[in-house]
Structure 1
Amino acid sequence: MFEIAETWKTRLTDISWFMRYLNEVIARESNREDQCSGRFWEGRFKSQALLDEKALAAFMAYVDLNPIHAKMAETPETSDHTSIKQRILSAKQAQQPTTLLPFVGNPKEPMPTGLPFRLEDYIDLVDWSGRCLRNDKRGAINEKLPPILDRLQIDPKQWTYLNRNFESRFKSLVGTGHSVRTACEQLGKSWVHGVRECERLLSPPPAIP
């Protein structure tokens, strides 16, 4: 009994095992409904650790903009099955969705539990990013940049690149070069795939003397 409990304890703390089990159930049900066989998912599940605010903001926007990137929606508020649509609908009534982690503002001490951004800044950021994706003008950056980009010290052209290529550019650890190297030390790793991309896309620009 103890061995069984230990096995399940290990499995329940392993997100890769959980996703493999969940994917199998969904794939079997879908194949039964469509009366077919074979793989249901396009690719394997990937898990990425988001180490800091820059990585968190980039990944959230990347996921929220997937329907626009896939030309399934024209605007964030019409992007079905996304958190940004839920947040916008709730924001119209001066609320935040109870089913999602709330935005609690910029980092401060003590920091309440929630996302370390202002809700209006994030909505503005996703809207601005969606316009760049829809118009397919990678070099044309609107002069009115969302303030969140300035606070996170992310170059707008690099941000639009991240919106298109987040999953393909990063593998396991995502954050500034410093955050990734610190995590590597804590995990006993000498190097991790994608650290150069983290330094190029997410690390702050060098200070001007």
Structure 2
Amino acid sequence: MNKKAKRRLVVVGGIVVIAMLVIVAIAGSGGSASSLSIGDVLGGGYEGKKVQVSGSVVADSLTSEGSRAIFEIAPEDGDAAQELTVSYDGALPATFGTGVVAICTGTVTDGMLNATEMVTKCPSKYESAEGSLTVKGLLDQGEAMVGKDTKVCGYVRGDIQAVDADYRFEIESQGATLKVRYDGGLDENIVDGCAVVITGSLGEDGTFTATEQPAIDEAVSE
């Protein structure tokens, strides 16, 4: 091999090495997120870093700025002294709501977590429909049931809406339908066609507001 060929080989080899270093650097900068506690993030030292944090959604903390949802999460053990603000630019999962555990991944900026990914987990809940009213039975009693604590059962009809929608879902039984409001998280198994039992009260506008997490009818779901 002559000197010219050797020189060309050295140059090409150097270019390959540099390209590999660049690729490694880029891959490293977009690597997996560090899993941290809320306390870790609030303690500082993670500005600009990609992290994953989980916590329970704090009641009445959800606001919006355009398409961006802003809310607070607190440790699952209930330590209210530690709350982290999360900004999430995306569609809220149907299971999102007060008390739901949100697993958020994103970058820490000015002490806030700008999340690009979020999943929720909500414990399953089953309950018997025994002693509950059907939708028709509730509505047939009209104004006499407005504002009264009661339990109603039925089948979910249609899609589950996000927590910031006018209502979460509709249920149907004995040919009558009822819109249900609920600001908490929903079991991911509550979908179209699922039999549910809901505790709450009927409003003057004809919408039923749930005061507890809607439950799957254990008898129908077995």
TM range (shorter): under 0.3
- Give the structure with the higher percent strand: 2
- Give the structure with the higher percent helix: 1
- Structure scoring higher RCO (CA < 8 A, sep ≥ 6) equals 1
- Structure 2 length-normalised TM: 0.20
